[in-house]
Amino acid sequence: MNIWNLTKKDLAVIFKDRGALMWLFVLPVVFIMIFAGLAFLAQGGSSGEAADNRIALTVVNQDPQGELTARFLADLDRAGGYRVESSDLAAAEARLEKIKIIFFLVIPENFTADLAAGKQVIVQLITHPDANVQDVQSVAQVISGVAKDTSLELQLLDGIRQLGEMQAGNPQAEEGFQADKVAAQAKSQFDRSKVTPLVAVTEREPAVEEEEKAPEFDLASSAVPGMTVLFVFLAAATVARGIYEERKNGSLRRLLSAPLTRSELMLGKMLPIFLLTLVQIAVIFLFGAFILPLLGIGRLGIGRDPLALALTSVMIALCSTSLGIMIASIARSEGQISGLSNALLWVAGFLGGALIPSFLIQQIPVLAMLSRLVPQSWATQAFYDLISRGLGLVDVLPSLGMLLLFSAVFFFIGVRRFKFE
């Protein structure tokens, strides 16, 4: 019996076990829907009133008493697509840093006073370094459009005011407001508004130190990668229980008569679950890409390097099944397998960012240190780097190297400590 024959035999057994198939393919999808759905509701997805589906535009208004400021923000809110939400500067910067928002607009202190004096004012759109370029361009276009309309209106009014001043005290004043003269003045101000608008928009990113950036995700991207890592590693318990059952009924001992070394035999027990976890990852990602958008929970992307994503999936599946071999070698009863699985998989899944965003874990020093000791942390980091940040294979090589190291250690311990009885 070679490794492939052993694999086919185990796959046939697994496909007959509906509970195992449900655990591998149905339960992850259910968890993702529950997790993403709760997050969606927490963000106001089930309001009793008619929901305002416009994108929130946080505004730091440093000229709160200005009449022209109020008009500008009202026009911006009516422009469509975005709703204005006020905030102070510190709160906006904190929310931007934590990726709760990806941009905010700053209105300068002398907005109204400078506009009233005919001076140019500049509003700043502060964007997060990881913000989607199309999202930034979209909001910048809306702001620029409102700014141009405001500039044109103010400059036209200023032109008419200038005409009035020039005709003051002139008994023939009405001649100054003849249609051709008003049109000429309006055209002059209109041309000026295009060249030197009174309200200009600039974009910039906040000045930050070089450090690890927290990923920016929609609901689908927040839920799917972490849940994928969680359930792929939970497959280690399936490997361990399968080996335990065969050791219990003596079939594993009989396999020693086959022309296989101990390592080859362990590889043969790993391979079926390894292949199924790869299928599991594909199913979960396809669900995130095509089904979740239909539910209004966002769409999962695959980043810009599909090859790197595929290789990362292989390394995660390998690490998970190697961990199953180690659990099977340490545990001596089904109860011990369950206990080790809960400790090594659920707790490690939490520390590794599979249940909550990893950047929240990193804010607690003790948890941040412990998270680097579990493979789930490196797995979620690799997925997030590829999917959220758009990085490539070279960028995730450190994470893949750590997953390979974990896999080698788990497999070595499993083979060395394994007993067939």
Other beta carbons within 10 angstroms of residue 152's beta carbon come to 19
Region(s) of the chain under CATH 3.40.1710: 55-98+100-204
Enumerate residue ranges in the chain where pLDDT < 50: 46-50, 176-177, 179, 193-195, 209-217
What does the block give as tokens for 258? 């086959």
Strand order in the sheet with 121-127: 82-86, 55-61, 103-107, 121-127, 199-204
| Burial of 96 per CB tally in 10 Å (0-12, 13-18, 19+) | buried
Domain covering 55-98+100-204: architecture: 3-Layer(aba) Sandwich (3.40)
Res 216: pLDDT: 45
Find tokens 């009174």 and name the residue: 198
State the SS3 of the chain: CCHHHHHHHHHHHHHHCHHHHHHHHHHHHHHHHHHHHHHHHHCCCCCCCCCCCCEEEEEEECCCCCHHHHHHHHHHHHCCCEEEEECCHHHHHHHHHCCCCCEEEEECCCHHHHHHCCCCEEEEEEECCCCCHHHHHHHHHHHHHHHHHHHHHHHHHHHHHHHHHHHCCCCCHHHHCCHHHHHHHHHHHHHHHHHCCCEEEEEECCCCCCCCCCCCCCHHHHHHHHHHHHHHHHHHHHHHHHHHHHHHHCHHHHHHHCCCCHHHHHHHHHHHHHHHHHHHHHHHHHHHHHHHHHHCCCCCCCCCCHHHHHHHHHHHHHHHHHHHHHHHHHCCCHHHHHHHHHHHHHHHHHHCCCCCCHHHHCCCHHHHHHHCCCHHHHHHHHHHHHHCCCCCHHHHHHHHHHHHHHHHHHHHHHHHHCCCC
What does the block give as tokens for 58? 């946080």
Contact 358, 381 (CB under 8 A): yes
Other beta carbons within 10 angstroms of residue 278's beta carbon come to 17
pTM: 0.57
Q: Distance from CA of residue 135 to its chain's centroid?
A: 14
* Strand-pair partners of 86: 59
| Burial of 208 per CB tally in 10 Å (0-12, 13-18, 19+) | exposed
